[in-house]
Amino acid sequence: MGLKDKQILKPLAMPKFNPVWKDVEGDWCRNESLASVPFSPLESRMAKEKPGLSDGLEKLRSMLGEENFRKFISPLHNLTKNGNMLLVVAGDFLQRSLLERECIPSLKKAFGVSSVRIVV
């Protein structure tokens, strides 16, 4: 079938845009297994969740200085040490780039690892 059979294609009707999610507020999707908590600095979360990393964080604080520690390390999402590797979870690509540029040697030395991987 085609144009030689005298059939004409009809354009598809596109649905109208309905901004259902625009300006949505409140608890519109309840999930009892999820909870929203305010963001807290990495060092306070690690002290509760992974106390084994506290020594490394203190060494890192002394190596970087208080200002750089607050700027680069406190906003991180997570740190995990597995053997000779440290996995760092950053919030965005800019933070990842700054960590790669400024902190990798200090991270290796503070946590006693040979490899640091930073993911977003």
Q: Which domain CATH number covers 57?
A: 3.30.300.180
* 92 located within any domain: yes
Instruction: Summarize the chain as % helix, strand, coil (round to 5).
Output: 40, 10, 45
Residue ranges making up the domain that contains 80? 42-120
Q: Residue 62: CB partners within 8 Å, gap ≥ 6?
A: none
Q: Which residue has the higher pLDDT, 79 or 38?
A: 79
**Local structure of 5: helix, strand or coil:** helix
Average pLDDT over residues 46-66: 92
Amino acid, res. 34: L
* 16 located within any domain: no
pTM: 0.69
Burial class (CB in 10 A: 0-12, 13-18, 19+), 4: exposed
pLDDT value for 80: 94
Tokens representing 34 are 């999820």
User: What's the structural domain count of the chain?
Assistant: 1
pLDDT tens readout for residues 105-115:
999 999 999 99
